[in-house]
Structure 1
Amino acid sequence: MNHHPASPGQPRPNTPVWDDEPWTALPSLEGDVSADVCVVGLGGSGLAGVTELLDHGLSVVGVDAGMVAGGAAGRNGGFLLAGTYDFYHDAVRKLGREWASSVYRLTLEQVARMAAETPDAVRITGSLRIVDTPEEEDDCRSQMQGLQADGFAVECYDGPEGRGLLFPADAAFQPLRRCRTLARRAAVRGARLYEHSPAIEIGQGQVVTPVGRVRCGAVIVAADGRLEGLFPELRGRVRTARLQMLATAPTDEVRLPRPVYARWGYEYWQQLTDGRIALGGFRDLGGEGEWTEEWEPSETVQARLEGFLRERIGVRAPVTHRWAASVGYTPSGLPVLEEVRPGVWAAGGYSGTGNVIGALCGRAMAQVALTGSSPLADILREPAAVGMRAAALSG
Structure 2
Amino acid sequence: MESFWQREVPGQFPPASGTKHVDIAIVGAGYTGSWLAYWLRDYGSSVTVLEAETPGFGASGRNGGLMLQGPAQLLADAADSLGEENARVIAQMTRESFSWVREIETRHAIDFHATGSLYLAGGVDERPAVEKTAALYQKMGVPARLIDRSELPRSLGTLNGDAALWIPDDGMIHPLKLIRALLAEATARGVEICAHSPVAEIEETPNGVLLHGPNFSVQAERAVIAANAYSASLLPHHALPIQPVRGQVLVTQPLPPLDHAYPVYADHGFNYWHQRPDGRLVIGGFRHLAMDEEQGTDLILHRAIQDKLTQLARHLAGAPITIGQRWAGIMAMTPDHRPYLGPLSPSLWIAAGFNGHGSTVTPVAARMLRDALVEGAPIFEPYQVERIR
Matched, 1:44 2:31: yes
Unaligned stretches of 5+ residues in structure 1: 1-13
| Residue of structure 2 in register with 1:88 after alignment | 75
Q: CA deviation at 1:24?
A: 4.4
Distance in 2 separating the partners of 1:90 and 1:217: 39
What amino acid does structure 1 have at the position aligned with 2:211?
V
Residue pairs, 1:79-228, within 5 angstroms: 79-119=66-106, 120-121=109-110, 122-157=112-147, 158-160=151-153, 161-162=156-157, 163-202=163-202, 203=204, 204-228=208-232
Q: How much has 1:312 moved relative to structure 2? A: 4.7
CA distance in 1 between partners of 2:195 and 2:187 (Å): 13
Cα offsets for 1:126-152 (capped at 9, x unmatched): 111123522233332222123223433
Matched, 1:263 2:267: yes
Which range moved further: 93-102 or 23-32? 23-32
- Distance 1:313-1:330 versus aligned 2 partners, 3 A rule: farther
1-side partners of 2:301 and 2:238: how far apart? 26
Deviation at 1:350, TM superposition (A): 0.9
Relative to the length of structure 1, the TM-score reads 0.88
Report the alpha carbon displacement of residue 315 of structure 1 after superposing the two structures with TM. 4.9
Looking at structure 2, the residues matched to 28 and 199 of structure 1 have their Cα atoms a distance apart, in angstroms, of 11
Offset at residue 60 of structure 1 (A): 0.9
Contact 1:115-1:124 at 8 Å conserved across structures: no
2:67 and 2:172 in contact (8 A); partners too: yes
Q: 1:323-334 residue pairs with structure 2 within 5 A?
A: 323-334=327-338
| Residues 74, 129 of structure 2: 8 Å contact kept | no
Separation (CA, whole Å) in 2 of partners of 1:176 and 1:45 = 13
Q: CA RMSD in A?
A: 2.1
Equivalent in the alignment of 1:70: 57
Q: Aligned pair 1:33/2:20, yes or no?
A: yes
Moved beyond 4 Å, runs of 4+: none
Indicate yes or no: 2:365 matched with 1:378.
no
Identity within the alignment, %: 28
Please name the residue that 2:250 is paired with. 246
Distance 1:132 1:39, change over 3 A: closer
Output the CA distance in 2 between the equivalents of 1:24 and 1:241. 28
Contact 1:259/1:270 (8 A) holds in 2: yes
Q: Which runs of 5+ in 2 are unaligned?
A: 158-162
Deviation of the 1:50 alpha carbon: 0.8
Deviations 1:15-47 (A, max 9, x none): 211133345431111101222111110111111
| Structure 1 residue 234: Cα displacement | 4.5
Report the counterpart of residue 326 of structure 2 in structure 1: 322
C-alpha distance 237-91 of structure 1, shift in aligned 2 (>3 A): same
Listed one character per residue, the Cα deviations across residues 228-276 of structure 1 (whole Å, up to 9, x for unaligned) are: 1111135461111011100000110525421111111110001111100
